[in-house]
Structures are given as structure tokens and as C-alpha cells.
Amino acid sequence: RKEVEQDPGPFNVPEGATVAFNCTYSNSASQSFFWYRQDCRKEPKLLMSVYSSGNEDGRFTAQLNRASQYISLLIRDSKLSDSATYLCVVSGSSNTGKLIFGQGTTLQVKP
Amino acid sequence: EPEVTQTPSHQVTQMGQEVILRCVPISNHLYFYWYRQILGQKVEFLVSFYNNEISEKSEIFDDQFSVERPDGSNFTLKIRSTKLEDSAMYFCASNRDRADEQYFGPGTRLTVT
């Protein structure tokens, strides 16, 4: 089983659509969870951290289910500028700061 | 806003040559990392570094790789004898606390011919 697994997509959606991405992770000892965004050939940039209680930042909502080892990201009212690859990221279990990345899910928002 | 910087942006080298990739982390950060991303693949952890020593390294980080913080600002990754399969984008990252967001540099694209 992959350490962090995501549906690679691509997801092609019209502007204004709501889109959801899912992710599962294998290590139950992971303590920190993130969604990063990566534009083509650029560095990953933090979109949001993910907390057990769920959290929202504008049009973006992240959820974590530790029992199922499942993380989700919901994007409402998609904009053209949301087109990117979304990376599900979890911390390693060794508490050294190591991050484990999923393959990424590609989103293409069309006018 | 403070940012992580990396040089060079693109490095082309011949197989068997040594390369040094340079990074300047954010100044008040204490934890430093190298990751790599082969074209079309996921970002992979290479090494974490704290208090002037390696705290964790991956299986990829074999004897050909080394890291150093030669002064108070630079953090370098050296590959002693490059292989074709070392061709990738190499990202440096840093954070103040290991549980915090990691800030990534723009990357160095390494091409081994």
C-alpha cells in the first residue's frame, strides 16, 4: 500500500463548480496533515493544514478522519486560478519533520 | 516576505561529476530539508537536518549524497558522482519548528547527461 494515495485525475471542471479531492494514508502514527498546491514545474506551496475538527479557509474546506486515515479537500466556486496539482501531505512517524507526499491530483478549471 | 532561495536554477552535468546544490533557508528557521521530484513523479523526501546534524535520511540518500551547513546561512546538498537517474528537481525547505509549515525554495533542476 502506498504511504499516501490520491486519485491523480485530471479533474476537469467548469468555473464555479465544487470539486472534492480525497486522500488516504497508511501510517497511523502520522501527526500532521497538509494540502499543498503545486503549479507546473514550481515548488509546492502550503494551501492549508488539516485538523481533526476540520477547517475552512475561504472557498477551501479540509477534513481529516484519523480512524479511516482519510483526508479530503473541498473547493467551492472554482476559479480559473485554482488550476494546479493538489498534493496531500502527511508527516512521517519519526518526528523529524519529514513530509510524505502523495502523487497529487490535477485540477483544470475551464471557463 | 522571507523566502527560501536556491542556486543554480538549472544545472547540467555529466555522469560521474560532482555537483553542489545551494540553498539559503529563511533566517530564523532551525530545521532544513532536501526533497527531490523526478519529472512526472511525486515529491520524495531525501534528508532532514537540525542542529548541524542529519536527523533522518531516506533510502535514496546513499553514500553519494551529503549535506552541510557551512556557515550561518547556506545549506548545501552534494552529490559526489552523479548518475543519470539523479536527474530531477531538487527542492530545499525549512521551518522554525518541525511540526510547522515547510517553506520550499524554487528548486534546482539537475540534468545529468
User: CB contact, 8 Å: A20 with chain B?
Assistant: no
User: CB contact, 8 Å: A61 with chain B?
Assistant: no
> DSSP letter at B66?
E
Query: Mean pLDDT in chain A?
Result: 94
Kindly identify which residue of chain B lies nearest to residue A5, measuring between CA atoms: B42
User: CB contact, 8 Å: B48 with chain A?
Assistant: yes
Secondary structure (H, E, C), chain A: CCCEEECCCCEEEECCCCEEEEEEECCCCCCCEEEEEECCCCCCEEEEECCCCCEEECCEEEEEECCCCEEEEEECCCCHHHCEEEEEEEECCCCCCCEEECCCEEEEEEC
- Assess whether pLDDT exceeds 80 at residue A1: no
Kindly identify which residue of chain B lies nearest to residue A105, measuring between CA atoms: B42
Confidence of residue A41 (pLDDT cuts 50, 70, 90): confident
User: CB contact, 8 Å: A45 with chain B?
Assistant: yes
- Assess whether pLDDT exceeds 80 at residue A3: yes
Q: Supply the pLDDT for residue A8.
A: 85
B109 min Cα distance to partner chain A (Å): 9
Q: Supply the pLDDT for residue A94.
A: 82
More confident residue, A51 or B10: B10
User: How do residues A54-82 score in pLDDT, each as one tens digit?
Assistant: 899 999 999 999 999 999 999 999 999 99
Q: Supply the pLDDT for residue B99.
A: 87
Per-residue pLDDT of chain B (113 residues; tens, 9 = 90+): 889 999 999 999 999 999 999 999 999 999 999 999 999 999 999 999 999 999 999 999 999 999 999 887 899 999 999 999 999 999 999 999 988 899 999 999 999 99
Contact by Cβ (8 Å): A9, A86: no
Confidence of residue A95 (pLDDT cuts 50, 70, 90): confident
Contact by Cβ (8 Å): B13, B110: yes
Query: Averaged over A20-40, what is the pLDDT?
Result: 94
User: CB contact, 8 Å: B30 with chain A?
Assistant: no
B30 min Cα distance to partner chain A (Å): 11
Task: Give the number of A-B residue pairs with CB atoms closer than 8 Å.
Answer: 60
User: CB contact, 8 Å: A42 with chain B?
Assistant: yes
B3 min Cα distance to partner chain A (Å): 12
